[in-house]
Structure 1
Amino acid sequence: MAAEKQKQPILKKISKGLTVGSVITGSTFFRGPPILALGLTKLVKKSSKIDETNINIANGWIGTNNWLIEKVLPELKWHITIDEDLDLNLQGRYIMTCNHQSWVDTTVTQYFGLKRMPLTRFFTKWELIFIPFVGQAFKILGFPMMKRHTKAQIEKNPALKYRDMEEARKSCEQLLSQPFTLLNYLEGTRYTPEKHAQQKSPYKNLLKPKAGGLALALNILGSEIDALVDMTIVYPDGVPGYGDFWLGEVSQIAVNLRKIEIPAWVHGGNYEDDADYRARFQKWVDELWTEKDQLITQLKQQLQAESVN
């Protein structure tokens, strides 16, 4: 009997893993081809109806994942807080920043955003275009895809710097024909204690923010958006891996959204070529990151206190 009790949790995890893997794989192969097929028709004819259909298909894929979360992970407790002055809706246009700790962050964002915000897109590397289904879907769905060049390449050919900027501008401007949420992970990479120590980050819970992507997005889209949103994700039990999440190893997740007021001086600046503007913008972002760091500490303390009580 003791042996059976020890096997049950393992068998339960295996069952969850098989269920999640089968459903997500099936959903991807079911919805991927229609998105690709409709995307090809855009080469012949531009159509807002095609874009709308593709977004609906993508939301259906996210909806399947969210259904899995509710059915396979019913014990997972969500703590979701939205500032009162932040009016989210599916027809809005938002730029969103977020801390980045795990691949689970994207799943959390999709779970939270499906019924509250337009489809979330984020800057991706052009090389992802070669990943079957996923890469092509990113392109068709309007994810800004960047052909990023190294500093060494730009030093040899300075024109590459402005080519990157122009590609980003075109990608962002294409979003203006529809509601959108454009996500920017300011840290540029997932947080780990090793990276934190290597950077000598001044923040307790965060890596140093990279302001260039946000400056670019605000320069191109700032006058057209409804809000700049800062999203904070906290895993009170410790940062999970993707497998840990789906196997039920995460008991609770906290999500906080706040509206960030954009100073008037931000609009119209030249982050790339104006050193004074760049320094001022970076200082503003650093201040936002300090507030975020304090918020994460508060959320952790609050959730730990609640779990004790």
Structure 2
Amino acid sequence: MSTDKKQGLFKKVSTGLTVASVVTGSTLLFGPPVLALGLTKLFKKSAKVDQTNIELTNRWLSINNWLIDHVLPQTQWDIQVDEQLNLNLQGRYILTCNHQSWVDTTVNQYFGVSRMPLTRFFTKWELIFIPFIGQAFKILGFPMMKRHSKSQIAKRPELKNRDIAEARKACEQLLSQPFTLLNYVEGTRFTPEKHRQQKSSYQHLLKPKSGGLALALNILGDQVDALVDMTIVYPDGVPKYGNFWLGEVPRVAVHLRKIELPTWILQGDYETDREYRVQFHQWLSQIWHEKDQLITQIKTRLAQPITQESIA
């Protein structure tokens, strides 16, 4: 093995051990207090407890950001925010985003910790069984959904209504505090295979699913400060989660813009009004076409592969 390969392997192992040690340590440091404070809500609800848990969670996430800035400094960030989008930690936001990798959530957290309220997102109920992290999702008010197949819903239609009721309850609970509610509108991570199966009309995106966003806007729409659209691009290829934390992602591009809400959005019922449902999907499809064009523009602007000379 050449000297360069040995050095590269040593650096990768060293980075992996550092990240694993710090992440494990931070989880053990912040996970139990968040869980313990959350359990007190079984006996008495307290805004002070909620705020303390959010502060602890932000410190927990800030450790990940410290790792990104100091252990993975070779990752270059290209972040652009539209001038009309004035974000602050006391705001209330619904956030839409394209979805390609588990790294997307880390990117959201990296951007949001110092700029936006704690980001929650719709997640699978099964994640509650992950020690500390899954329980923290529940305690911190992440809408946790039990996903049912079409055949299950066909046999038991009440399952669909139960999920909607749970999502509605979780969204309503957010109104007592600043929040960012993230919706991966595609519903799943983009892959070329899924793109082909869908016969998607978008070059870089899967077809958007309207239901989750419509529900969030129905419950929270007149209370939010902005509907924010985040676009994430990995110019050098979509990474796996492990690749990111081993420092193998040269560049990440992030663009945020404000989406103006037409007045009719807050005046319809997505579940019962078919005409409204069609109009909503057309509106979201237009946003998605604009996002698709934006991704093309970002990729064109960053088409030059990163080199060691450019890093230096």
Alignment TM class, shorter chain as reference: over 0.9
What displacement does 1:269 show?
A: 1.5
Preserved contact between residue 236 and residue 305 of structure 2 (Cα < 8 Å): no
* 2:139 counterpart of 1:140: yes
Tell me the matched-pair count: 308
In 2: Cα distance, 1:137 partner to 1:307 partner: 38
3-state SS of 2:303 partner: helix
In 1: Cα distance, 2:274 partner to 2:223 partner: 25
What displacement does 1:238 show?
A: 0.5
In 2: Cα distance, 1:284 partner to 1:134 partner: 35
Alignment of 1:77-226 (within 5 A): 77-226=76-225
In 1: Cα distance, 2:248 partner to 2:133 partner: 27
Is the deviation greater in 157-166 or in 21-30?
157-166
Deviations 1:251-304 (A, max 9, x none): 111100000011111113221221111111111111000000000000000112
What displacement does 1:158 show?
A: 2.6
3-state SS of 1:96 partner: strand
In 2: Cα distance, 1:197 partner to 1:152 partner: 24
Give aligned-pair identity as a percent: 69
| TM-score, length of structure 1 as denominator length | 0.96
What displacement does 1:305 show?
A: 5.0
What displacement does 1:4 show?
A: 2.8
Find the counterpart in structure 2 of residue 11 from structure 1.
10
3-state SS of 2:42 partner: coil
Gaps of 5+ in 2: none
| TM-score, length of structure 2 as denominator length | 0.95
Preserved contact between residue 250 and residue 306 of structure 2 (Cα < 8 Å): no
What displacement does 1:163 show?
A: 2.0
Find the counterpart in structure 1 of residue 60 from structure 2.
61
Structure 1 stretches of 4+ moved >4 Å: 305-309
3-state SS of 1:304 partner: coil
In 2: Cα distance, 1:263 partner to 1:306 partner: 40
In 1: Cα distance, 2:267 partner to 2:125 partner: 27
Find the counterpart in structure 2 of residue 277 from structure 1.
276
What displacement does 1:131 show?
A: 1.8
What displacement does 1:250 show?
A: 1.2
3-state SS of 2:244 partner: helix
3-state SS of 1:201 partner: coil
Partner amino acid, structure 1, of 2:115: R
Is the deviation greater in 138-147 or in 229-238?
138-147
In 2: Cα distance, 1:288 partner to 1:6 partner: 45
Deviations 1:65-102 (A, max 9, x none): 00001111112111111011101000000000000001
What displacement does 1:29 show?
A: 1.2
Gaps of 5+ in 1: none
In 1: Cα distance, 2:150 partner to 2:218 partner: 22
In 1: Cα distance, 2:72 partner to 2:125 partner: 34
Is the deviation greater in 295-304 or in 272-281?
272-281
